[in-house]
A and B are shown apart, each in its own frame.
Chain A
Amino acid sequence: MTDQRDGRTDRSGGWTRRRLLGTGAALGGSAALGGFPVVRRARAAAKTMSFWQFYAPGGPVPGQTKWFEDTIKAWNDTHDVKVDLNYIPSGDYMNGAKLPTAFASGQGPDLFLISPGDFLRYYNGGVLQDLTPYIDAKVQADFTPNIIASRKVDGKIYGVPMEVEPMAFYFRKDAFDKVGLNETDVPKTWEQLLEIAKKLTTPDRFGVLFETTPGYYQNFTWYPFLWQGGGEFQTADHKSALNAPAFVQALKFWQDAVASGAAPRKPLGGGAWDIAPNLGSGYCAMQNCGIWGISAMAANAKDVPYGVFKLPTPTDGKYVTVGGGWAIVANARGGNPEAAGQFCAWALASASPDSLKRMVDWCTVAKSDMPPRQSAFAMGKAAFDSGFMKTFTTEIYPGTRAEPRLPPQVYKAISDAIQACQLNGADPAQQAALASQQVDAFLAGYSGAEIL
Chain B
Amino acid sequence: MDLAVGQTARDVLRGRPRGRLTRRQREALAGYLFVLPDALGLAVFAGLPMLLALALGFFTVDGFGGYRFAGLANYRRMLLDPLFLQSLRVTLAYVVMLVPSLYVVGLGLALLVQRRSRLSGVLRSLFFLPQMVSLVVVALVWQVLLVDKIGIVNRLLSPLGLGGLSWLGDPRLALVAVVAISVWFLMGFYMLIFLGGLQDIPKEYHEAARLDGARPAAAFLYITLPLLRPTSFFVVLTATVTAVAGGQIFDLIYVMTKGGPANATELAIYYIYQQAFQYNEFGYAGAMATVLVVLLLGLTLLLFAVTRGGRFDG
Contact = CB atoms under 8 A, between A and B. Distances in A.
Interface in B21-57: none
Given A104-B282, A283-B150, 13 more contacts: A95-B278, A103-B64, A104-B61, A104-B65, A121-B280, A124-B62, A125-B66, A214-B258, A214-B259, A265-B170, A419-B262, A423-B262, A424-B264
Interface of A: 95-97, 100-101, 103-104, 106, 121, 124-127, 203-206, 212-215, 261, 264-266, 268, 283, 333, 408-409, 412, 416, 419-420, 422-424, 426
Contacts of A212: 169, 260-261
Interface in B58-102: 61-66, 83
A106 B66 CA distance: 11
A265 B63 contact: no
Contacts of B168: 265-266
Contacts of A214: 258-261, 263
A266 B147 contact: yes
B276 interface: yes
List 6 A-B pairs, minimum CB-CB distance, nearest first: A265-B169, A125-B64, A408-B279, A266-B169, A423-B261, A424-B262
A268 B151 CA distance: 10
A419 B261 contact: yes
B277 A100 contact: yes
Contacts of B11: none
B149 A203 contact: yes
Contact of B63 (A100, A409, A426): A100
A268 B146 CA distance: 10
9 contacts: A95-B278, A103-B63, A104-B64, A104-B65, A121-B280, A206-B149, A261-B164, A409-B279, A419-B263
Contacts of B276: 97, 100
Interface in B234-283: 254, 257-264, 273, 276-280, 282
B88 to A, nearest CB: 17
Nearest to A100: B277
Contact of B260 (A104, A127, A419, A426): A419
Q: Give the residue among B150, B170, B264 with the most A Cβ atoms within 10 A.
A: B150
B171 interface: yes
A284 to B, nearest CB: 10
B166 interface: yes
Given A125-B280, A264-B169, A423-B171, A213 B263 contact: no
Contacts of A100: 63, 276-278, 280
Given A100-B63, A214-B258, A266-B147, A423 B169 contact: yes
A193 to B, nearest CB: 19
Interface of B: 61-66, 83, 144, 146-150, 164, 166, 168-171, 254, 257-264, 273, 276-280, 282
A213 B260 contact: yes
A265 B261 contact: yes
B277 A213 contact: no
Contacts of A416: 83, 262-263
A393 to B, nearest CB: 34
Contacts of A420: 262
A206 B258 CA distance: 23
Given A213-B258, A412-B279, A420-B262, A268 B166 contact: no
A322 to B, nearest CB: 20
A51 B13 CA distance: 71
Given A204-B149, A265-B166, A424 B64 contact: no
Contacts of B259: 214
Given A104-B282, A266-B169, A97 B149 contact: no
B148 A104 contact: no
Contacts of B258: 95, 213-215
A67 to B, nearest CB: 28
Contact of A423 (B62, B64, B170, B282): B170
Contact of A265 (B61, B144, B148): B148
Q: Give the residue among A103, A106, A265 with the most B Cβ atoms within 10 A.
A: A265
Nearest to A118: B278
A287 to B, nearest CB: 15
Contacts of A215: 258
A129 B298 CA distance: 47
B64 A127 contact: yes
A214 B273 CA distance: 15
Nearest to B172: A424
Given A213-B258, A419-B260, A125 B166 contact: no
A127 B61 CA distance: 15
Contacts of B260: 212-214, 419, 423
Contacts of A264: 148-149, 166, 169
A96 B263 CA distance: 19
A218 to B, nearest CB: 9
A283 B64 CA distance: 43
Contacts of A121: 63, 279-280
A420 B261 CA distance: 8
Contacts of A103: 63-64
Given A103-B63, A125-B62, A408 B280 contact: yes
Contacts of A126: 64, 66
A129 B164 CA distance: 52
Nearest to A103: B64
B64 to A, nearest CB: 3
A266 B167 CA distance: 9
Contacts of B144: 268
A101 B260 CA distance: 24
A97 B277 contact: yes
A101 B254 CA distance: 18
A233 to B, nearest CB: 17
Contact of A125 (B63, B261, B262, B278): B63
